[in-house]
């Protein structure tokens, strides 16, 4: 299937999302990007004809932008790749802060321009902040100066707000949406309805979270069996191909964490084919199974972690609870201990609400931590 938006994104519909890069633990306990492995991933990705890379200032506490420089931009000519970076609301307080931030991003990534610059993670909570700081106009100015080629935004809210933003800002060229088969009809995420608004406004969609933060790659056994019976590929392959099957999607971002994961992605996106009728039916059966599971829909984006005054590793604690519910994991208590060693426990939450303001999944984190504490801190 041809990419209708090849002139914008390149012919292949798979992008390297650099928010979940492979990491190494140093002797002092700090985490650094596994640069050797990322270099090999970048090489293989480009060799196979893929060219789109996505980062943001906050990814991996700034280490993602530096990995872009070390593994991509310092090693390849500028016309070999398309690079997207983002303007994140928590990194600027006033209009005057935006340009220095942007320039620091160019420097960190080692480039003179970004192909795409996206206003990051727009929601009803932060849209006013972007407007009050004139962020849409500043982005257009950067474009006029040649330091940005295309301006868009990523979005995590309801279709009514999306329609409003696209009406108020017709200059926007692309929209990045959370879009996957589990969220397609989900009343909280509303992937389908948001996609349809983009279609209505003629905006190409960049897909984020096609595998729902890895949750559609690691399915509960009953759901995994449905896909395995198709004998066609990995669980992740159906999720990525689902998103790519829509004509209005021009780029599917996969947050790849290892060379092995990348090779799997490349194997079915090299010569991509849309889902067949039988595959769509299987995916819908998987949705039915997943909806029966009472688990937390955290995608491990980690936006909530940096601002927590009690240093609670929120997504990791939720992962323990999910593992306990889904798989009756015998060792989820052990991992709960690991993830609270040197960090806050679920019961340490002081309910300040910072995390909920930035959670793109709109999760009631404070309530969920009460539930998590009840399960793991009984003794
Ligand atoms: S509400 Fe709790 S978990 Fe969230 S940021 Fe505040 S202390 Fe941390
Ligand atoms: S709780 Fe929300 S913000 Fe935090 S990692 Fe999960 S999805 Fe992301």
For the record, the structure tokens of 2 come out as 């041809």
189 lines ligand 1 (CB under 6 A): no
365 lines ligand 2 (CB under 6 A): yes
357 lines ligand 1 (CB under 6 A): no
Name the closest ligand to CA 209: 2
Ligand 2 atom with the shortest distance to the CA of 305: 4
310 lines ligand 1 (CB under 6 A): yes
Please tell me the predicted confidence (pLDDT) of residue 205: 98
**Per DSSP, which regions of 167-323 are E strands?**
174-178, 205-208, 249-255
CA-closest residue to ligand 1 atom 3: 349
Kind and range of the H or E element at 358? helix 354-358
308 lines ligand 2 (CB under 6 A): no
Cα–ligand 1 centroid distance for 346 (angstroms): 9
Whether residue 134 is predicted with pLDDT greater than 90 in this model: the reply is yes
For the record, the structure tokens of 209 come out as 């979270």
Name the closest ligand to CA 363: 2
Whether residue 327 is predicted with pLDDT greater than 80 in this model: the reply is no
C-alpha to C-alpha distances, 139 to 55, 86, 120, 134, 187, nearest whole angstrom: 17, 10, 12, 9, 32
Cα–ligand 1 centroid distance for 313 (angstroms): 10
C-alpha to C-alpha distances, 374 to 356, 363, 377, nearest whole angstrom: 20, 18, 6
Q: What is the DSSP letter of 113?
A: -
Please tell me the predicted confidence (pLDDT) of residue 241: 97
**Which range (66-75, 78-87, 213-222, 269-278) has the least confidence?**
213-222
Please tell me the predicted confidence (pLDDT) of residue 114: 98
Q: What is the pLDDT of residues 151-200, one digit of tens each?
A: 999 998 889 999 999 999 999 999 999 999 998 988 778 899 999 999 99
314 lines ligand 2 (CB under 6 A): yes
Q: What is the DSSP letter of 70?
A: I
Ligand 2 atom with the shortest distance to the CA of 299: 7
Q: What is the pLDDT of residues 286-317, one digit of tens each?
A: 999 988 888 898 988 899 999 999 999 999 99
For the record, the structure tokens of 304 come out as 């909530």
**pLDDT mean over 211-216:** 88
304 lines ligand 2 (CB under 6 A): yes
CA-closest residue to ligand 2 atom 6: 298
Name the closest ligand to CA 354: 1
- CA–CA separation, 253 vs 235, rounded Å? 16
Ligand 2 binding pocket mutation candidate from 125, 154, 208, 299 (most atoms within 8 A of CB): 299
Of 179, 180, 172, the C-alpha closest to 201 is 172
Burial bucket for residue 334 (CB in 10 Å: 0-12, 13-18, 19+): exposed
**pLDDT mean over 45-72:** 97
Whether residue 376 is predicted with pLDDT greater than 90 in this model: the reply is yes
Cα–ligand 1 centroid distance for 299 (angstroms): 17
Of 54, 55, 52, 44, the C-alpha closest to 7 is 52
Question: Is the separation of the CB atoms in 337 and 314 below 8 Å?
Answer: no
Widest distance between CA atoms in the chain: 61
Name the closest ligand to CA 188: 2
User: What residues are paired with 119 via a beta bridge?
Assistant: 87, 153
Segment 77-83 long-range contacts (CB within 8 Å, at least 24 positions apart): 78/111, 78/112, 80/46, 80/51, 81/46, 81/51, 81/52, 81/53, 82/9, 82/10, 82/51, 82/52, 82/53, 82/115, 82/116, 83/53, 83/55, 83/109, 83/111, 83/114, 83/115, 83/116
- CA–CA separation, 274 vs 19, rounded Å? 26
Ligand 1 atom with the shortest distance to the CA of 350: 7
Query: Per-residue confidence at 85, pLDDT binned at 50, 70, 90?
Result: very high
Ligand 1 atom with the shortest distance to the CA of 356: 4
Ligand 2 atom with the shortest distance to the CA of 365: 1
Ligand 2 binding pocket mutation candidate from 120, 316, 365 (most atoms within 8 A of CB): 365
The three-state DSSP-derived secondary structure of 193-232 is HHHHHHHHCCCCEEEECCCCCCCCCCCCHHHHHHHHCCCC
Name the closest ligand to CA 215: 2
Domains and CATH numbers, the chain: 6-291 (3.20.20.100), 303-376 (no CATH)
Residue 319 CB: number of other CB atoms within 10 A? 22
């Amino acid at each position: 299937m041809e990419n209708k938006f090849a002139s914008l994104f390149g012919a292949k519909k798979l992008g390297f999302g650099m928010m979940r890069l492979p990491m190494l633990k140093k002797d002092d306990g700090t985490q650094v990007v596994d640069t050797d492995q990322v270099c090999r991933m970048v090489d293989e990705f480009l060799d196979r004809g893929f060219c789109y890379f996505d980062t943001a200032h906050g990814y991996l506490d700034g280490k993602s932008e530096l990995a872009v420089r070390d593994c991509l931009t310092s090693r390849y000519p500028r016309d070999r790749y398309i690079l997207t970076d983002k303007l994140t609301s928590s990194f600027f307080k006033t209009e005057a802060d935006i340009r220095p931030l942007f320039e620091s991003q160019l420097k960190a990534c080692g480039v003179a321009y970004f192909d795409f610059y996206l206003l990051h993670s727009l929601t009803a909570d932060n849209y006013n902040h972007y407007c009050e700081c004139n962020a849409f106009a500043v982005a257009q100015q950067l474009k006029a100066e040649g330091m940005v080629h295309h301006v868009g935004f990523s979005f995590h809210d309801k279709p009514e707000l999306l329609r409003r933003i696209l009406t108020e800002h017709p200059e926007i060229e692309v929209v990045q949406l959370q879009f996957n088969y589990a969220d397609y009809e989900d009343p909280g995420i509303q992937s389908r309805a948001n996609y349809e608004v983009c279609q209505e406004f003629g905006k190409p969609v960049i897909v984020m979270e096609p595998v729902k933060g890895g949750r559609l790659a690691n399915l509960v056994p009953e759901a995994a069996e449905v896909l395995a019976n198709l004998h066609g590929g990995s669980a992740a392959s159906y999720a990525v191909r689902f998103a790519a099957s829509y004509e209005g999607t021009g780029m599917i971002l996969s947050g790849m964490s290892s060379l092995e994961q990348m090779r799997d992605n490349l194997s079915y996106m090299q010569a991509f084919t849309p889902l067949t009728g039988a595959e769509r039916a299987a995916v819908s059966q998987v949705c039915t199974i997943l909806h029966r599971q009472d688990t937390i829909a955290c995608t491990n984006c980690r936006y909530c972690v940096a601002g927590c005054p009690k240093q609670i590793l929120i997504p990791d604690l939720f992962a323990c609870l999910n593992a306990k519910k889904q798989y009756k994991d015998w060792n989820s208590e052990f991992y709960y201990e690991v993830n609270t060693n040197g960090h806050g426990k679920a019961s340490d939450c002081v309910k300040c609400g910072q995390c909920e303001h930035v959670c793109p999944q709109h999760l009631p984190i404070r309530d969920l931590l009460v539930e998590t504490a009840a399960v793991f801190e009984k003794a």
